Amino acid sequence: DAGITQSPRHKVTETGTPVTLRCHQTENHRYMYWYRQDPGHGLRLIHYSYGVKDTDKGEVSDGYSVSRSKTEDFLLTLESATSSQTSVYFCAIRDPSGGDTGELFFGEGSRLTVL
Amino acid sequence: GQNIDQPTEMTATEGAIVQINCTYQTSGFNGLFWYQQHAGEAPTFLSYNVLDGLEEKGRFSSFLSRSKGYSYLLLKELQMKDSASYLCAVWDSNYQLIWGAGTKLIIKP
């Protein structure tokens, strides 16, 4: 199994507070992704990174920021949480080199509830 | 726009065969993935198709027709543990993954 962990796994917070989710990998993969998953929707990409300090926006990036100062860590920050950001957040990694198909490996997910 | 369609829910009987369809309209195509996701867990990789045809992997097979924008996942000899959501995803021309909403498969004894 790919070494990828997320923290916290569960969090309840109040509207207007900042929240940071952490994704940590031990695979030394270049590509890291943050997705959110909501009922009735497919996984939706928030932000992604293709290397240290190289990040880009996904389709639902408003209200979110990311940072990647080390290969192994990718942080997702909600500057001021809103109820619409209540969701399950998944981090994923991908190794674009080598003989694999380029599939994503996912962390266990972080369930965030904004009251 | 880009779109992936798959049925919301399907029901099948233990020991039977079920086919889950996926149709896609994307800007370009660089491959199609199927993932399995048990309730409360992370998605896990099942299969990848980039050329037309059938890929078989044990009880699971995945088919692709690029000209029709169509794929299916075939599950044989269904087991109760196959109860899960099955997610279809397409790599577009920019190697961004476009995801379907998933098909919830319910297996009955």
pLDDT recorded at residue A27 = 85
Query: Is B48's CB within 8 Å of A103's CB?
Result: yes
**B 45-104 residues inside an 8 A Cβ radius of A:** 45, 48, 87, 89, 91, 95-102
Q: How confident is the model at residue B2 (pLDDT cuts 50, 70, 90)?
A: confident
Q: B40 Cβ partners below 8 Å, 6+ apart?
A: none
Kindly tell me the sign of the dihedral angle through the C-alpha atoms of A77, A83, A85, A90.
Answer: positive
Could you read off the pLDDT of A6-62 as tens digits, one per residue?
999 999 999 999 999 999 999 888 899 999 999 888 899 999 999 999 999 999 999
CB burial of residue A106 (10 Å; 0-12, 13-18, 19+): buried
A104 lies within 8 A of chain B by CB: yes
Q: A108 Cβ partners below 8 Å, 6+ apart?
A: A5, A6, A9, B41, B42
Could you read off the pLDDT of B41-70 as tens digits, one per residue?
999 999 999 999 999 999 999 999 999 999
Could you read off the pLDDT of B24-37 as tens digits, one per residue?
999 899 999 999 99
**B 22-51 residues inside an 8 A Cβ radius of A:** 31, 33, 41-45, 48
A93 near A50, Cβ under 8 Å? Answer: no
Query: Is B45's CB within 8 Å of A104's CB?
Result: yes
- Tokens 């949480």 -> residue: A81
Report how many Cβ contacts below 8 Å link chain A to chain B. 42
